[in-house]
Amino acid sequence: MPETADRQRRRVLGGLVLGAVTAALPAYADTVLALDTQGTRYRPPAFTQTTAAGWINAAPLRWEDLRGRVVLLDFWTFDCWNCYRSFPWLKSIEQRYADRGLQIVGIHTPEFDHEKDRERVVTKVTEFGLQHPIMLDNGFVYWHAIGNRYWPAYYLIDRRGRVRALYVGETHVDDPQARAVERDLEVLLAETPG
């Protein structure tokens, strides 16, 4: 099937945005992407959806429900190919670390209007085989509350509920970013809940 003009425009714009993000990452990486070994980062904001309709694969979550677990927040949207091409890696770490205390929570923040439709998101969640809790963030409320700027973005939250690291961009099994995230996960999973 030929690529539609809209799809082609989004692909080109997406490449330009990815290029701009990649160009900005070295300066950003020095202060935000590294694991904070002192545990001095901020606490993530409360989840902004409190009704069942605002969540997929789970009842509404609160940070209190996740106390004692290491959480990886995954900001994504279903038309973002960098996001869905990262799902095999994300599912692999979910399987590998779940019994050690890792909980993945997806935050679906749509870029386009058609991505706001809950049923379309549910269809994509099924298609991608995602089984972890996913909060719908159609109004960018959580996105802005945590200060996010990227798809995909992975926030690592320690057992005490503090944001300790942020990784940005498409990630694949055994690529350099995946190895870095997994090293950070090992550190956080080894820490005792406080």
59-98 residue pLDDT tens: 999 999 999 999 999 999 999 999 999 999 999 999 999 9
The residue among 85 and 5 whose pLDDT is bigger is 85
Q: What is the pLDDT of residue 119?
A: 98
Which of the given ranges, 6-10, 31-35, 37-41, 111-115, has the highest pLDDT on average?
A: 111-115
Within-domain flag for 185: yes
Q: What is the pLDDT of residue 41?
A: 73
Q: What is the pLDDT of residue 75?
A: 98
Using the predicted structure, report yes or no on whether residue 52 has a pLDDT greater than 60: yes
Q: What is the pLDDT of residue 26?
A: 37
Within-domain flag for 74: yes
Within-domain flag for 141: yes
Within-domain flag for 59: yes
Using the predicted structure, report yes or no on whether residue 117 has a pLDDT greater than 80: yes
Domain of residue 128: give its range: 34-190
* CA–CA separation, 48 and 183 (whole Å): 30
Q: What is the pLDDT of residue 42?
A: 85
Q: Determine which helix (DSSP H) or strand (DSSP E) holds 176, and give its type and residue range.
A: helix 176-190
The residue among 22 and 66 whose pLDDT is bigger is 66
* CA–CA separation, 37 and 53 (whole Å): 37
Within-domain flag for 17: no
Q: What is the pLDDT of residue 12?
A: 36
Residue 99 burial (CB count, 10 A): 7
Q: Which of 54, 74, 55, 48 is nearest to 157 (CA)?
A: 74
CA 107, 111, 115, 116 dihedral sign is: positive
Within-domain flag for 122: yes
Q: Tell me the whole-structure pTM to 2 decimals.
A: 0.82
Q: What is the pLDDT of residues 136-193, one digit of tens each?
A: 999 999 999 999 999 999 999 999 999 999 999 999 999 999 999 999 999 999 998 8
Structure tokens belonging to residue 141: 């409320």
In sequence order, what are the beta bridge partners of 105?
A: 73
Within-domain flag for 22: no
Q: Structurally, how many domains does the chain consist of?
A: 1
| Angle between helices 87-97 and 176-190 in degrees, nearest 10 | 30
Within-domain flag for 135: yes
Model confidence at 4, pLDDT cuts 50, 70, 90, reads low
Using only C-alpha atoms, what is the Rg of the chain?
Answer: 16
Model confidence at 131, pLDDT cuts 50, 70, 90, reads very high
